[in-house]
Structure formats: C-alpha cells, structure tokens
Structure 1
C-alpha cells in the first residue's frame, strides 16, 4: 500500500485540524482497508487504559471507557514482549494469558505505541477482532508504524500548544479576578472547567479538584468585624496560590469557599497537596475543611466538583465532631 496515498487519504498534516480529527480519519481509514471489528486510540495513565477514540463494529466499546492496562495486549506489546501484529493472537502465549480475554473475545490483534515527546508511552493505536485474520496483514506493518508516528507527532505538537493556550487563557481571564483576593472568580472557574474538560476528553489527562471552605469566618466577622474576616480570606488565597503549581487554577467561588483545579495530576499527588495545604492553613491559624476528587474518564470535571464539595462537607462534619 502506497504510504503517500495513505497520508493523502487520511489528510495531510496541513488539513488535519487537530489530534482528534487526525485520529478519527486514521481509524476510519484503517477500518475500511484492514477490517477489524474495533479500532481504538488509547491513553495509559497509571494502571488505567483509557479509550480516547473508538471505531467499533461489534464490541460495544465507546470513548471514555476505562480498562485495566496490565490486562491488555498493548501493555505487553509496548515492552516488546508480544508482536505488534498477531493475525492469530491465540498463538501468542502472553496474549492468551491477558486478563482482557475475560471481557472480550479476541482472536486477532494489531497494536502500535504512541509516544510523548520525551519518549515515554502516551498510549496506543490498536485493533482487535473476534476472528483470526489472514497472515497477509503483517505486510502493513510499515503503514501502521507510519500512522502511529504521525499521530504521535501531532499529539506532541498539540500538547505544546495547549500549554501555551493555558497561559494565554489565564492572561485573557485576568479581568475575571476576585477583587478582594486577586485569585480568579467564579465565572473564570466555570470557564476553565469547560476548557479543561475538553482537553481531558481528547487526551485522557488526569485532573483533580479541591474544594476549600473556611469554618470560622462568620465567628471572626461577628467577633472582630468584617475587616478581620477579609484578612483571613486574603491570607487563605495567598496560602493556596503559594502551594500550587503555575499551571493550576485557584479561584474564590464565593464567600468563604475556594476551588483548586489541578491540571494533569493524579489523585495520589493531589492528596499530598491537600496535606500541605491543611498544614499551612493550620500554621496560619485558619480552620478549613477540604474535599478532593478526581475526574473519571467516564464522567466529567463538573461531577468531580460535586464529589469534592460533598467530601468537603464530610470533612467539615468530622471537624465539628472532634471539636
């Protein structure tokens, strides 16, 4: 198969709009020319194997589904422990032993790694079919490698652009700041949630949310006046900003409530941040309740906000019981 014709058919790099568009065209092309019941573009994050895009004709797999990475054929393929093309996957012992076989019927497999700029594995371009395929599909190995490299390059360039976009978006949102604290306001928070949700859906980024609520603001206002309460709110904002990374987002959501959007961060790392925040706030004499939640690929960031808010109230109730 002529490689130039393939690229022209999928779309040249100049008329491919973005990673998502390139992925859709490549999956469509590969299904039309090589068959296979399911073609996917996936992301691996920790032990999650996240489906970013799917061209499905029989398995019922959709974008946003999450499988166990260690159970997949791809986890063996990227380590060169299994072939990238297996017309009869039952002949490959490691593939036969893979846990994914308990969920779906697989008799043929294709897989190619997708790379981050530093050479680490981002995910895979892969396909499975319930029927054994002809040995002749192995002749398309160069084509598959070419398309995976093309996707990787588009991905790498786009991730760089996204970092620049985040900086630009923050600059554009400077007018949407809370006058008392200097952090972003609720309107900016809602805007950034939507922007980051789109990126999470496209690239499978892990993102977490922290909700912070001050427990003693009303008592401070009643006892010492609103200026003292304002000072506590300002001090809280300073502590939050000091502890987060430059690409994270801190916003005052209203009254004594703040939110932190942790970009491309796991729940484990966010919990470490929560512990630092609690210690810093306590050292400053600020009594606060915190709740944290991670965006799940099958859900969205706004659902994570709701979960984090619920956990914050759980923490608040625990504090009252202790007191």
Structure 2
C-alpha cells in the first residue's frame, strides 16, 4: 500500500494534541489551518472551549497576535496588554501557541492551547517543547504534502480520464474519485472546498418537442458554459442526464455564494435555464457528502420557486 501523507499528518496532529492535553495545564489543544482570513480548527482535543470545524476571524484571534510577535505563552490574557483587548479574552484566560509552516515555507496554521482560567503561579508550560512539536508538525506537513503530490498526481490523472462521452466532462466515476481526494484533504489539512449541483430546466420538453438531438445540443452547450465559467481550481462533471456537479477548491463558506453566482450568470447569458444549489465543506462539521445533500436541496427549492 502506498504511503498516505494526509493520513500520517492527521495521526501525528491528533497524537500531539492528545499528549499536550494530558501533560499540560491547558484544557483544549488544536492544530488549526489559517486560510482566507479565517482560522479553522482541524484536529482538536477538546475539553471546554475548542471544537473541530470552529471558525474565527484570524485578525481577532490570539494566534494572530502571537504570529505577529506577541508572547507565545499568555498566563493571564486579561492582564496582558497584547491580548486583553481581544473579545476572546472574556472566555480565554490562558493561551499558548506556535505557528506551523507548510511545504512552501509559509504559515499553514497554528498549534495552540487554551483554557478559561489564567495559569496559577505554580503551573508551568514548557515553551521549548511546544516549539519543538510545532517544528516537528511543520516537518511532517512538508513530508506529507511531498509524499501525496505524486500519489495525487497519479490518482487525479486516472480520475480525469473518466469522461462523459457526450460532453467531455468528468463522468460519475471520475467525480467520485475527485470528491474522495478532496474529502481526504479537508479532514487532514483543512483544505477549503465547495460543491454545487446544477440541474437543467426543461430538458424533457426540449426532447419531446424538438427531438433528442436538440436535447443533446442543450446538454453540450451547458457543459461548455460551466467549464468555461470555472477556474483552474474547478472540476465540472456530468452527474446524470441533465444534472451537473462542480467541485471548487479553495472556496470557504463565506465565499461560496459569490463564487457560484458566476456559473448562474454564465448560464443565463448563454440562454440556458437551470437551477443551482451549493454548499461549502467544513472539517468536522460538513463533509462533502453532507454538502452535496445540502446543495441538492437548495437546487430543488430554487427549481420549485422558479416555477
């Protein structure tokens, strides 16, 4: 079986936060991801304050202050001038954190711990240990991304080779493969990803009145329009007879509505009536399977609303 870097990073992260929870005075520990102005907790050992999938504004976080040069260990957040003005100081009494770097040498996220009460005088945190563990996670992440790069290249090439004969888009088998890859990256690294379902309106009427050749032409035009409306980070598939799916990497929940409006506008400009539903995945809260169900419900609500 080939090495799986994503799985290895997940296991390492979970072991680190569990160890720190058991051997330090802080109750909650997390390996988080910082992306598009948000901090997302991906691997959490929770007791009181943190939970997997929780999102906070990066600029309003303790970790942002730490990454900008403030103390790595905050014994009493309400008495520390670098942290006391943050809204989170009302419920975070003590904090510790070190950044984690990715394979490009940029900040990936943070290894951090918190608890509601300040640390007492006799409670200690080993900063050297925390720094060492964050450095080890950075090294693990670099190796994980490197190991997975070739594995993913092969798997994605195989997935992208599964195409629909009529449209040239991904078929159902190819779609399932890229969704599985995105789910793995979501769970391990907190990579942002969103999905949409697009259903053509009136295809049956076109087939019944103008013939199946006209219906096929409508499907081909819709496929071309969706493909051209997407970015290089998008994958478009023909999911069923008149249904298409879109997977968009790098799209967080706050961006999803605006991002998928581009596809609605492109279809409208092409004179193609369709209904679209979308959702963005969140580690620990909404899997891609959940998102597809949410997108499907939204699509049908819009379709019935239009009628």
Q: State the TM-score bracket (shorter-chain normalisation).
A: 0.7 to 0.9
Q: Tell me if structure 2 keeps the 8 A contact 1:64–1:201.
A: no
For the pair 1:23 / 2:9, whether they are aligned, the reply is no
Q: 1:88 to 1:266 in 2, by over 3 A?
A: closer
* Residue in structure 1 matched with residue 32 of structure 2 by the alignment: 42
1:290/1:311 contact within 8 Å kept:
yes
Q: Which residue does the alignment assign to 1:7?
A: none
Rounded Cα–Cα distance in structure 2 between residues aligned with 1:178 and 1:243: 19
Distance 2:14 2:288 in 1: 24
Quote how far apart the aligned CAs of 1:260 are: 0.3
State the alpha-carbon separation in 2 of the partners of residues 172 and 163 from structure 1: 14
Give the corresponding residue for 2:201.
Answer: 215
Q: Give the alignment of 1:48-63 within 5 angstroms.
A: 48-56=38-46, 58-59=47-48, 61-63=50-52
The Cα of 1:309 is off from its aligned counterpart by 1.8
2:245 alignment counterpart: 259
Match of 1:314 among 281, 301, 307: 301
Query: Conserved in 2, the CA contact under 8 Å of 1:42 and 1:124?
Result: yes
SS at match of 2:84: helix
227-236 or 165-174, which deviates more: 165-174
> For each residue in 1:154-193, what CA deviation from the matched residue of structure 2 results, as whole angstroms up to 9, or x when unmatched?
2234335545444322322356432222222223333432
Tell me by how many angstroms 1:63 deviates.
2.5
Kindly provide the CA deviation profile for residues 174-218 of structure 1, in whole angstroms up to 9, marking residues without a partner as x. Answer: 564322222222233334323322221221222111111111211
User: CA–CA distance in 2 between the matches of 1:16 and 1:200?
Assistant: 10
Higher mean C-alpha displacement, 34-43 vs 274-283: 274-283
Q: Distance in 2 between matches of 1:258 and 1:303?
A: 17
Matched, 1:73 2:62: yes
**CA distance in 2 between partners of 1:70 and 1:112 (Å):** 16
Give the number of the structure with larger relative contact order, counting CA–CA contacts within 8 Å between residues 6 or more apart.
Answer: 2
User: What aligned pairs does 1:123-202 form with structure 2 within 5 A after superposition?
Assistant: 123-129=109-115, 130-134=117-121, 137=124, 140-174=126-160, 176-202=162-188
What is the TM-score when the length of structure 1 is the normalising length?
0.80
Q: In structure 2, what is the Cα distance between the partners aligned to 1:31 and 1:16?
A: 23
Structure 1 distance, partners of 2:28, 2:190, is 19
For residues 55 and 290 of structure 1, do their structure 2 counterparts lie closer, same or farther at Cα, with a shift above 3 Å needed? closer
Structure-2 change in CA distance of 1:273 and 1:136 (3 Å): closer
The 2-side partners of 1:100 and 1:48 are apart by 15
Evaluate the alpha carbon distance shift between residue 241 and residue 165 of structure 1 in structure 2; reply closer, same or farther with a 3 A threshold: farther
Q: Does the 8 Å contact 2:193/2:250 carry over to 1?
A: yes
Q: Is contact 2:199–2:242 with CA below 8 Å preserved after alignment? A: yes
- Give unpaired runs (5+ residues) of structure 1: 1-14
Tell me by how many angstroms 1:314 deviates.
3.3
Question: What are the Cα deviations for residues 9-58 of structure 1, in whole angstroms up to 9, with x where unaligned?
Answer: xxxxxx997211221232344345444222211123345432212234x4
Q: Which runs of 5+ in 2 are unaligned?
A: none
The Cα of 1:134 is off from its aligned counterpart by 4.6
Distance, in Å, in 2 between the alignment partners of 1:98 and 1:272 is 30
> Alignment partner of 2:53: what SS?
coil
Tell me how far apart the structure 1 counterparts of residues 297 and 158 of structure 2 sit (CA, whole Å).
31
Residue 299 of structure 1 pairs with residue 255 of structure 2: no
The answer to whether the Cα contact below 8 Å between 1:166 and 1:247 also exists between their aligned partners in 2 is: no
Of the three residues 77, 81, 89, the one matched with 1:89 is 77
Give the deviation of 1:247 after TM superposition.
4.2
